[in-house]
Structure 1
Amino acid sequence: MGEAVKNSYQGYRILLVHAHPDDETINNGATMALYASLGAQVTLVTCTRGEEGEVLVPSLSHLASSEKDELGKHREIELALAMKALGITDFRFLGNYRDSGMMGTEPNNRPDVFWQADLDLAAGELVTIIEEIKPHVLITYDEIGGYGHPDHIKAHLVAMRASELATWQIQKIYWNTVPKSVIAQGMEAMKEIGSDFFGAESIDDLPFVKDDSFVTTLIDGNDFVDAKMAAMKAHETQIALDGPFFALSNNLGLQVWGHEYYTLVKGPKSEPFDEQGRESDLTSGVVL
């Protein structure tokens, strides 16, 4: 984004819609920190509290849904710490929907989970937020929710439906994208140290990667990698410090987390472009 300086993006408003605490940091942490630092208003809406998540910290295993079922409350604290690390002050939950768990599991059939929520009712709750903050840019998942988790798919459906129902017209809508070339590079680097990438042997084993042709926009948030890594560490129950995420940063260099990729699905693809013809600013072409 060139020589952009603090407050140069004042007046721009960006809304992110995510499924669980930690999704925002993994997908968009550098982007969020970058735009917030430049003066843009960045709002995060998280659709569930991630009650069904796996607990990676042994001393906190009692929080799991199979035991005391208090993980959601703890993940609220983790999210607040992560947002502090990224410099985000406006973050909220969408209603009181419960984590749906994976498709076909017992939690997925509970009446209070996000997956079972009425689409227009949930979208209506998001419309209320949209009418309040009037975002110029919306960021959410693609049509398969990135990797098929029901809450990710539902977050996509709710965000897109809300954008249709709202009186306020969002000028640009982006879906998070994970390009094959980046993950392939990471997998090779991890194989060199005798590790794998989430158990995958090849790029074809990963359902969440997309052909590089889907990438319309690349945000360079390298100056905010430290903030992103601090936010990832804040999500302690979900992201292992010795797991694939941090192994990638150690073996590819921290910049692997500073580059975040998007597919523009609504609005003008606008300058500035990089050498591969990709946008380098989510707000390019936005009329204030």
Structure 2
Amino acid sequence: MTDRRLLLVHAHPDDETINTGAAMARYVAEGAHVTLVTCTLGEEGEVIPPELAHLEGDPELGEYRAKELVEALRALGVDDHRYLGYRDSGMMGAASNDDASAFWGADVDEAAARLVTVIREVRPQVLVTYDANGYYGHPDHIQAHRVSVRAFDLAADPAFRPEDGEPWQVAKFYFTATAKSVMRRDAEALADSGTGFLVEDPGDLPFGSADDEITTEVDARPWLVNKLDAMRAHATQITVKAPFFALSNNIGQRAAGVEHFILYRGAMGKAIPGAPVEAGGIGEPYTRENDLFSGID
């Protein structure tokens, strides 16, 4: 297949790089059309560098993070980017959840209609977003899941807003994921890294999937350097001490060059027997797809 089109829906600037940056860079390099939809500007994000601390809570933070995203996407090679047009809701339970323009409170059908317009224009074979928990429970991530699921169905419905383009059925729909076994191994490596990042027991973190839940493993290690450069571009949110990084909580994580996904809708492609690889894989042989486009004609 020479005309591959991948659409990713992420909640805030930096999510695209942390969760899927290596795969995005790989598919761009291989000639696929990669489109990113970012739901908010990340206005409620915390700011790490002391010299930029004045931006935290400032209306200008969203504009600043938008500029960081431009640089991050340049590092990944992605040149098709859209905003869904909502405001960052902040962490669950924050007062900002109730802001009239916050994504968390948006009407799902209205937000999905905006995404349907993009889907019908781009006509991707593959759609990627988060699982029902939003990967780790952030309200904007949960809402991105809800909106993407709704848009997946509506985009293919010829009765839904025909003025917004011809119906389009996305062939495969994935959720981002990280194998718990990989998280455990990376935590052990982090403890010996001397980075000064905090080491958290993966069992205590609100994300991570069992190894047998992972359906797809994309090996994009040659593009890990692009992912790390994109992380550095998100300087308000990410501290990089390669190959590790930390967010504002200073809990270290490894920047993965092998990224995991769970197929939610669509048919599994060819299953590839695998074995553990550096920065990815599990501790025992497994069988997974190795390409998000696997099985698509």
TM-score by length of 2: 0.86
Larger fraction in strand: 2
3-state SS, counterpart of residue 50 of structure 1: coil
- Mapped to 1, the partners of 2:133 and 2:46 lie a distance apart of 21
What stretches of structure 2 of length at least 5 have no aligned partner?
157-167, 247-252, 275-285
Task: Give the alignment partner of residue 133 of structure 2, picking from 112, 123, 144.
Answer: 144
1:26 aligns to 2:41 (yes or no):
no
Q: CA deviation at 1:272?
A: 5.2
8 Å contact from structure 2 (residues 273, 288) kept in 1? yes
- Mapped to 1, the partners of 2:16 and 2:193 lie a distance apart of 28
Q: Cα deviation per residue 1:155-183 (whole Å; 9 max; x = unaligned)?
A: 01101110011121100011001110110
- Mapped to 2, the partners of 1:119 and 1:99 lie a distance apart of 15
Task: Give the alignment partner of residue 71 of structure 1, picking from 61, 65, 73.
Answer: 61
Q: CA deviation at 1:85?
A: 0.4
Task: Return closer, same or farther for 1:220/1:24 CA change in 2, 3 Å cut-off.
Answer: same
Task: Give the alignment partner of residue 111 of structure 2, picking from 115, 122, 130.
Answer: 122
Q: CA deviation at 1:243?
A: 9.1
1:231 aligns to 2:227 (yes or no):
no
3-state SS, counterpart of residue 241 of structure 1: strand
1:99 aligns to 2:88 (yes or no):
yes
Percent identity for Structure 1 against Structure 2: 50
Q: CA deviation at 1:244?
A: 8.8
Match of 1:3 in 2: none
Match of 1:218 in 2: 217
Match of 1:42 in 2: 34
8 Å contact from structure 1 (residues 19, 46) kept in 2? yes
Q: Which amino acid aligns with 1:37?
A: A
Q: CA deviation at 1:209?
A: 1.1
- Mapped to 2, the partners of 1:38 and 1:243 lie a distance apart of 25
Q: CA deviation at 1:207?
A: 1.1
Q: Which amino acid aligns with 1:185?
A: R
Q: Which amino acid aligns with 2:267?
A: P
8 Å contact from structure 2 (residues 6, 127) kept in 1? yes
- Mapped to 2, the partners of 1:34 and 1:157 lie a distance apart of 27
8 Å contact from structure 2 (residues 195, 241) kept in 1? no
Query: CA-atom RMSD, angstroms?
Result: 2.0
Q: CA deviation at 1:257?
A: 1.7
3-state SS, counterpart of residue 175 of structure 1: strand
Task: Give the alignment partner of residue 158 of structure 1, picking from 142, 147, 160.
Answer: 147
Q: CA deviation at 1:190?
A: 2.0
Task: Give the alignment partner of residue 112 of structure 1, picking from 71, 82, 101.
Answer: 101
3-state SS, counterpart of residue 115 of structure 1: helix
Match of 1:4 in 2: none
Task: Give the alignment partner of residue 84 of structure 1, picking from 44, 58, 74.
Answer: 74
3-state SS, counterpart of residue 54 of structure 1: coil
- Mapped to 1, the partners of 2:233 and 2:169 lie a distance apart of 34
3-state SS, counterpart of residue 257 of structure 1: coil
Match of 2:250 in 1: none
- Mapped to 1, the partners of 2:266 and 2:108 lie a distance apart of 24
Count of residues in correspondence between the two structures: 269
- Mapped to 1, the partners of 2:229 and 2:266 lie a distance apart of 33
Q: CA deviation at 1:242?
A: 4.4
- Mapped to 1, the partners of 2:19 and 2:73 lie a distance apart of 14
Q: CA deviation at 1:114?
A: 0.3
Q: Which amino acid aligns with 1:19?
A: A
1:134 aligns to 2:123 (yes or no):
yes
3-state SS, counterpart of residue 131 of structure 1: helix
8 Å contact from structure 1 (residues 198, 244) kept in 2? no
3-state SS, counterpart of residue 47 of structure 1: strand
8 Å contact from structure 1 (residues 30, 260) kept in 2? yes
Q: CA deviation at 1:191?
A: 2.3
1:184 aligns to 2:173 (yes or no):
no
